[in-house]
Each structure stands twice: as structure tokens, then as C-alpha cells.
Structure 1
Amino acid sequence: MTSAVSSTDPAMVDHKSLYAYLSTLPSSLLENLYRHPNPSLCMAIFRDLTPMAQKFVLRQLFIEQILPKSVFTSWITPEGKKDHDDAVRLLNDLKIWSEAPSTAGLMGWKLNEHFRKGIQAIVVGGGPSWSGDDQPTAEETTPKDIPFIQNYARERWDVVLHFLAGLSGASQISRDTVEVLTNAGLIRGSNSTESGITQNGFRFLLMDTPSQVWRFILAYLHTVPKWGMDLIECISFIFQLSFSQIGKHYSTIGFSSNQLRTLQHFREYGLIYMRSKKSSRYYPTNLVVNLSAGAGLNTSAFSEGYIIVETNYRIMVYTDSPLKIAVVSYFSDMLYRFPNLALGMITRESIRRALMKGISTDEIIKFLRMHAHPQMRENNPVLPSTLTDQIKLWEMERERCVFADGVLYNNFLSQKDFEMLRNYASDLGVAMCSNAANKVVVVSPEGHDQVRAFWKRQKKE
């Protein structure tokens, strides 16, 4: 049976951690996840728990009886009460334990039996490999090395980003991928001819690669039930991949149709490499390994230093990538383009355009720091304070203005007519502003009908 998530709101798939995503799933779905024979999911969840929550799970792991709540409180100091409360809430949200009466009649905590067995298999060991069969076959007599796999992952993921950015000459992507991007709220439209990037899409392009992949995978899981695929099997398989190793190849023998279809999708995104669609071996890439760490993964391995920013707001982008130049142009005015260098300026107008696209100044500053040239990283601070302060000031300058709809009344024949209409609108409380020198009055849309009717009566009289 296929499980589904009820909401289609893109915000529902924008969680920064595994815990934040799983806590939104129904209890029945979590229970079925823990029942899955592969313990990789249980391990991924356990790794994401707080130290206090891990302690509570391990102390209950081989105890069959239910421990009273007072036993857990006796294990902590008064200073650790907040950690205790956070751990209890976390374990409750993930349905790892539940309240139950102990043999003494006191209320205690009962560890989920399926989760217990999964962690026991991890601690004791034995059984099949979490990440599948990695024995060599004749097909892989010349296996691919790690640099090749990393380059492949970067090229395939850039294809998705090129399409999202709407660059001319970008390679087309599958209809399934377009649907994932749409469900994530990154593009509008149901096909490649109608699609257009949204405000969330602009912000997505400024994120680091692990955060991009994590949010994309959450949107993928959100879309899986619409394709008739088993969500539980897909989640378990994704976390199985996250415990694999880069440079090793694994067998697809015994895979279900859901797993094989997921592999083909991930092959398009650059999460795995396969020699062909019919290949019986696959290589996990650096994009999928440790994926269960979520958006909080260390991004240093994915950051490229190619941007230099000067105190006069000039920006130099040392790259020949159209995608990187396009992303930088979201918040700067690009002036010159050379074979491996682009020059631009960060201006008040360019920052205003970025803010109108939904990009915050914090995201711009974070992007510049993340991709700062190695020479700039030797500075302290990395970015000139004059630049960061000015970007913040431009944002504050824009926030001083509040925009509201209104109806303009002008071209009065006399000062008396102007004052009469202004006073009437003020008495009604619908006058937004007025200027006696220019004889103009702005009223709110709600009061427009009353003011107009009044003015028509006065003109007849």
C-alpha cells in the first residue's frame, strides 16, 4: 500500500533536519518505517538524536520491563532538566517511546519494539550489509575512481540548476524532475514550456549544495506518493544510500521496482552513477553520502572560492560557468565578461532587485562568504565591513517605505473644492495623504466609493 502525505504546501518540505521532517509524518507511517528490515533508518534517526535522548535509548535497549519516569529523572542533575525535557519531547515526537504503566503501577516510558530491534542489530552486529552488496563483478573490472564520480555528480546537479535558472541552452530535464521542482515551490507551471523561477527558486540557487540537495530530496519524497511509489521504501532506500561509501559500487540485484525507479531518478540528479540505465551496479556520489545529516552538513567540501569583493563594491568572479555568473548577477550589475573572469558592481539598485526577488541580505552575505576566493579567506573579516554594512543599510532603507494601494483625486478647479473633499475623506477616516500645494488627495480603496458618491453630489449642486 502506498502511503501519502496530506499537505501539498511547499513549506511542508522545507525542513533543515531529519528530525524536523520525520516529526511531521503520521504515527502509522513512522511505525511502518521502524518495521523496515534494513536498520539504516533507525541508525540515521539515532545519530540525529540529542546526547541525552541517545543515553535514554541505550539504557533501555536490553531492558524488557518498562522503567518509571522517576528512574530517568534520577539519571540527571538539576542543571540537566532542560536537556531531559528536550529529550523526552524529541523521543515522543518521533514515536520512539510512549507512555505506559510499569509493573509497579507507575507511569513510565516504553521503547518502541521495532526501533529497539533496529538499534540492537546495529549494536550487536551481524546480518546483511546496510548499504547492499559491494562484491565486485565482471562488469566493474575497471571501476570508476572518486574524482570521476565527483565530477559526474557536479555536472548532473548543475543541469538541474541550469534549468531552474532558465539559462539559454540549458539541457532539458525529465517531466518527473519538473514536477519535483514545482512541488518544492521553486518553479511555476507543470511543464518545461510554462515554468518560471519563483522567489524560493532564487533563494535556492544561493544556498550551499548540501542544503540544495536536502531540500530537493524532501520535495522528492513529497512527490513520490503521486507517482504510485511506496514512500516508506523510498525513505529507507535513501538512508541506506547515505551510509554507503564514495568510490564503491553496489549491486542492484534483488531491488524492487520502486528502488530501481528511484535509482534512475537519482542518476539524473547526480546522486548516483550508473554506466547505463540497465547496469546492475551503481556508485553513490558525494551528494547522497551522509544525506541524513540534512541541511546542517559541513559545507566546506562543497564550497568553491571564486569571488573577490573590494571595498569599492566591485566584484570579480573568477569562473567561466554561466550558472555562477547568473547567480552573482541576481544581486550585482555585471559589466564585463572575459573567458574566465566576470566583473561587476554591487549597487543600491542591484540589492533592491535582489530584495524584490525575495533574496535577503543575510543570504547574499552568506553566499559571498561561502564562495570567497582563498586570498580573501585570509582576511579577518573575510568580507570588507564597509560592504556588509552598506548592504544592510540598503535593506533598512527599503524597509522604511510601506507600500499601500490608494485612489488619487486631483485636477480640482479650486482650492475650496480640494479642501471640501479632503475634509470629507478625513472625517470618514479614509484619507491616506494629501498635498495642498498640488491639490491632490489619496484615499483608501475601501473609502473610494463613498468619496466618489459625495463628490458627484457636490458637483451637481
Structure 2
Amino acid sequence: MVQPSFSHPTKREDAGPSTSPTAALDAFLDNQHQSYYEELYKSEAVCLCILRSLPPVCRHIILHILWSHQPIRTVDVKLFLQMDLKTPLPELDEVVRPALNRKILHPMIHKKAKMQWPMNDTFKRGLRNALTGLGTSNSFGVPFERDTEEGIPTQEELVAYGEDTFEGILKYMVSSGLEIGFPVARPQEEVLQLLHASGLMTDPSDPTGQNPNINRLTITSKGFQFLLEDRQTQLWEILMYYLSAKEANSERSAVVLSMFFSLGCMQLGQDYSASASFPHAQAALNDLAQYGFIYRSSEDTDQFFPTHLATALCSGDATVTKSQDADEKRFLILETNYKIYAYTSNELEIAILNLFVDIRIRYPNLVVGKLDRKNVKAAMEKGISAHQIISYLSSHAHPQMYNSPPPLLHPTIVDQLHLWDRERNRLKAEDTVMFEFFSKELFDDTEAEARANAALQHSIPSQKLLFIEPHTKAAITEFVKERQARLRSGI
């Protein structure tokens, strides 16, 4: 059996806000019940990956008592963490909250005059097997028995394949938002359906979203925000969208999620047997090839190679995800005259810039353009907000821009982007009911009544016109009739 790596995920230091790359996974797991975790923890790979995802304190506590047959006593945790023995129990509960949320520890109980947390037996057994290599679930993958070394892709080729396949999907999303697109391969139909179902792309001619034409999909505001995320976050979001689609079809998502964790524990460059590694998730494994997570020489072969996109899911190894290089992300210089200099040859980044920048000159590794009202407004009409553009410009700012006094982006440019964004929000369409009056007295009385009942939207006294909330039409009409009758009778 291929032995996994037990190293802790490498931490990245990005310029942007600190957001967990596994936020989508965490949100999904937070909504699962105990029975779901019991099925997950039958896989040793899942137990190892969940352990890696915990904060260091929780991880050390679990490893410290893993080989004990007794529950975790609160007094032992206090001593282990060198805490005051009088520390309140609720405060201690918060220390192990991540382990409680993942159902690794059961809620605190009182037993034999001591407070303690029982440990999940399924998780304990799975993690022990993962650390000792005694597991029988083949969750770390079963190597493929090949007869020849010919045609075996190198690690560099697997990285290139995974990157090109996934970036091809992102380029297609960007191209859909351009008036004049650029040549890009069209993803398979299943991928487009997932992009639509997840809200990353939409069919403008189908406002209900019930009968989309996948040939007319365009990027949404949510899709643009997706492009701004780092690669690790993008991968987990796509996988969680895929998992949600499986659940919507009443399929067993725990089996598929276990496969994701297993792929995250595999080794780049090693080939595995699909039938032996994932006997109950063959269809899902085939689907992952469409996103670049695995490589197969042909659809009917049992041999597959996980790419760097898959092997980095749980290890967090940024060295094999080249798009996460901090220097490559910081390539933009924005001047106060709205000119932009982008020191990059990355087609995807240039395509994203093309959404809201008027690109005027392009050299082999330099693009020169300008932020102008026409291009920015066109991007905003597609749902891209000023905040998202500002976020993109800030997170991709060249190190040279940090040498200038703060703020990073000149306030004039930031304010202008917000003003352009507000231009399309100056008019707001609302349903209304209009009342026209011939009597000034009746107009004044009705206006006062509508205002008193928070039903008035707008009034034009010179023309004796009132505009009221539609749901109050019956009540206002009744008031007008009664007031008219009184005025006619002279009351």
C-alpha cells in the first residue's frame, strides 16, 4: 500500500484577506449529522485529512490521547495545555470546539465525578490505521500493476495537464463575458451544467433558470468572484458544487467525498487502479477527469494518475500549484491617470483584465491598458461590482506599488469606480398604483391617510397624483370612496 505523507499543510501568506481555502468544505461538513461522519470515518484517508484540517491545539490533543482507551478528561487537557485548573468548562469546550464540530469528540459528559469527552471510536480506529498502515479500505489508493514504463507521464506533464484543463474552464467563463471572445476550448456539457447550477454562469435569456441554453451561458457576479479566489479555494468550491449536485440527485455523497480525501492523500506521478481504489465511485472519478483532477490515457483504462490539483487538496502543497505563486499574482501597476501596466503573459489573467480594462498595447510579457467608463460600465452590466474590481486590482498589485504611501489604490480611482457603479443604481423600478384626483381637498386627505399608513411612495401635488404601495390599493380605494361621499354630503 502507498504510504501517505503526515506533514501539516503548508500555510500560504497572501496579500488578500485571510480566508480558509477549505471554507466551502467546512460549510458543507458543518451541516452533516453524526451518521454521515460515521460513514466518512470508515476511510483512513478521511481521518487523516480531517486531522490535518484541525487547529494545532486540537491536533496535538487528539494525537496525545489517540492510543489511550479512556475518554479525554478535562483536567488532563488543562494540564496538557498548562491552563489554570479553575478555567471554566465552557471556555475549555471552545478549545476543542473544532473536534466537536467534526464529531471526533462527543459532547462533554459527567462520569465518575469527572468531566470528560468520549472519542469517536470509528475515527480513532481509522486514524490509528492511517498512522500504522494497517488499514484495509485501500483509501490511500491501490497502485496500478503495469507491464511497461512506456507512455507514463512525468510529474511536469501531469501538472501541465491539470493546469491547462482547469484553466480552460476558467478561460471559457471569462470569454463568455467579453463582447469579442478569444479562441478557447468549450468544456464538456456536464461541466457547463454544473457551472450553471452553481450560479457561476447564467443564461441571460432564461431568467427563471429552469430551461437554460448551455450554449449561451455568460459569467455572473458570483462567477467573477470565483475567479478572484486562490486556486485551492476554487478547487474545493467546485468539488462542493459537484457534491451538492450529487445530493440533489439523491446519490450517496459520503462515498464521493471520501474519494476526494483519498485523492488528496495520493502521490503525484504514481498511477493507481480505479476499480480497486474506488469500486463504488467510478462515475464520479470519470467526472473529475473533466476538471483536470486526474489523467487517463483513455476512458476505458483502469489506470489513472492524480494531477497536482488532486494531490494538493489535503496537503496544501503550494509548490505544485503554480498559480498560487505570490510573485506571479502581483503584476499590476495602476497609475493615477487610470493607466494599467500588467507584467504578465498569463492568458487567463489577461482575459480577466479584458473584462473591465481597455487593453491598447500587448507585448510578450506586458499589457498596457486603461480603466475607462465604457469598459467598466460594460463589466458592471454583467454583474461585476466596483468592490470586486477594486479587490482584484488590490490583490494583484505589483510589489512596486507598495513602495508608495498608502492607500494602495489612489482614492480618486476607487471613488470613480464606485461612482460608475452607482450610475446604474440611480433608478429603481417598483410596482405602484396611481391615483388621480380632481379635488384638492380629497387629494390632501388621501395623501395624509396614505402617509399615515406607510403606503405612500410618491406624490405630485401640482398634478394631484398619488403613487401608493400595490398591497394597500383596496384600503386606499375604500377610504377615497368614503371621503368622497362625505364631501358630497357636506359632512
- TM-score range for the pair, normalised by the shorter chain length: 0.7 to 0.9
- Give the stretch that moved more between structures: 179-188 or 450-459: 450-459
Using the TM superposition, give the Cα deviation of residue 217 of structure 1 relative to its aligned residue in structure 2, in angstroms. 0.4
CA deviation map 1:176-222 (0-9, x unaligned): 32342233232345552464544322322333322222100011112
Unpaired segments of 5 or more residues in structure 1? 1-13
Match for residue 174 of structure 1? Answer: 188
Match for residue 4 of structure 2? Answer: none
Distance verdict in 2 for CA 1:304–1:141, change over 3 Å: farther
- Give the stretch that moved more between structures: 62-71 or 189-198: 189-198
2:238 is the counterpart of 1:216 = yes
Report % sequence identity: 23
- Give the stretch that moved more between structures: 202-211 or 43-52: 202-211
- Give the stretch that moved more between structures: 88-97 or 116-125: 116-125
Q: Distance in 2 between matches of 1:361 and 1:306?
A: 20
Match for residue 197 of structure 2? Answer: 183
Match for residue 13 of structure 2? Answer: none
Q: Distance in 1 between matches of 2:187 and 2:444?
A: 58
Using the TM superposition, give the Cα deviation of residue 68 of structure 1 relative to its aligned residue in structure 2, in angstroms. 3.8
- Give the stretch that moved more between structures: 136-145 or 27-36: 136-145
1:444 is aligned, of 451, 454, 469, to 469
Q: Distance in 1 between matches of 2:87 and 2:382?
A: 44
Q: Please list, as runs of the form range in 1=range in 2, the aligned pairs for 1:49-60 lying within 5 A after superposition.
A: 49-60=54-65
Q: Distance in 1 between matches of 2:189 and 2:50?
A: 32
Using the TM superposition, give the Cα deviation of residue 28 of structure 1 relative to its aligned residue in structure 2, in angstroms. 0.6
Match for residue 33 of structure 1? Answer: 40
Match for residue 27 of structure 2? Answer: 20
Q: Distance in 2 between matches of 1:369 and 1:20?
A: 27
Match for residue 264 of structure 2? Answer: 242
Q: Distance in 2 between matches of 1:289 and 1:327?
A: 27
2:271 is the counterpart of 1:271 = no
Match for residue 12 of structure 2? Answer: none
- Give the stretch that moved more between structures: 317-326 or 227-236: 317-326
- Cα contact 1:334–1:342 (8 A) shared by 2: no
- Give the stretch that moved more between structures: 252-261 or 112-121: 252-261
Using the TM superposition, give the Cα deviation of residue 54 of structure 1 relative to its aligned residue in structure 2, in angstroms. 1.8
Distance verdict in 2 for CA 1:158–1:71, change over 3 Å: closer
Distance verdict in 2 for CA 1:397–1:262, change over 3 Å: closer
- CA RMSD in angstroms comes to 4.4
2:227 is the counterpart of 1:205 = yes
Using the TM superposition, give the Cα deviation of residue 288 of structure 1 relative to its aligned residue in structure 2, in angstroms. 2.0
2:317 is the counterpart of 1:292 = no
Distance verdict in 2 for CA 1:398–1:95, change over 3 Å: farther
- Cα contact 1:406–1:442 (8 A) shared by 2: no
Match for residue 164 of structure 1? Answer: 173
- Cα contact 1:61–1:120 (8 A) shared by 2: yes
CA deviation map 1:271-309 (0-9, x unaligned): 122222234433322222231378x99973385455432
Using the TM superposition, give the Cα deviation of residue 405 of structure 1 relative to its aligned residue in structure 2, in angstroms. 1.9
Q: Distance in 2 between matches of 1:253 and 1:446?
A: 61
2:172 is the counterpart of 1:153 = no
TM-score by length of 2: 0.73
Quick one: which amino acid aligns to residue 88 of structure 1? V
2:51 is the counterpart of 1:46 = yes
Q: Distance in 2 between matches of 1:456 and 1:103?
A: 74
Distance verdict in 2 for CA 1:179–1:26, change over 3 Å: farther
Distance verdict in 2 for CA 1:116–1:322, change over 3 Å: closer
Q: Distance in 2 between matches of 1:378 and 1:134?
A: 51
CA deviation map 1:349-401 (0-9, x unaligned): 76566566554544323322333456556666694333564267538967996
Match for residue 325 of structure 2? Answer: 301
Q: Distance in 2 between matches of 1:231 and 1:400?
A: 41
- Give the stretch that moved more between structures: 380-389 or 396-405: 396-405
SS at match of 1:283: strand
2:458 is the counterpart of 1:433 = yes
Unpaired segments of 5 or more residues in structure 2? 1-20, 202-208
CA deviation map 1:235-286 (0-9, x unaligned): 1221121123334433435244544333321211111222222344333222
- Give the stretch that moved more between structures: 219-228 or 51-60: 219-228
Q: Distance in 2 between matches of 1:21 and 1:42?
A: 17
Q: Please list, as runs of the form range in 1=range in 2, the aligned pairs for 1:227-238 lying within 5 A after superposition.
A: 230-238=252-260
TM-score by length of 1: 0.77
2:393 is the counterpart of 1:368 = yes
- Cα contact 2:386–2:421 (8 A) shared by 1: no
1:93 is aligned, of 97, 101, 113, to 101
Number of aligned residue pairs: 441
SS at match of 2:262: helix
- Give the stretch that moved more between structures: 175-184 or 230-239: 175-184
Using the TM superposition, give the Cα deviation of residue 448 of structure 1 relative to its aligned residue in structure 2, in angstroms. 4.6
Quick one: which amino acid aligns to residue 112 of structure 2? A
Distance verdict in 2 for CA 1:321–1:69, change over 3 Å: closer
Q: Distance in 2 between matches of 1:19 and 1:62?
A: 27
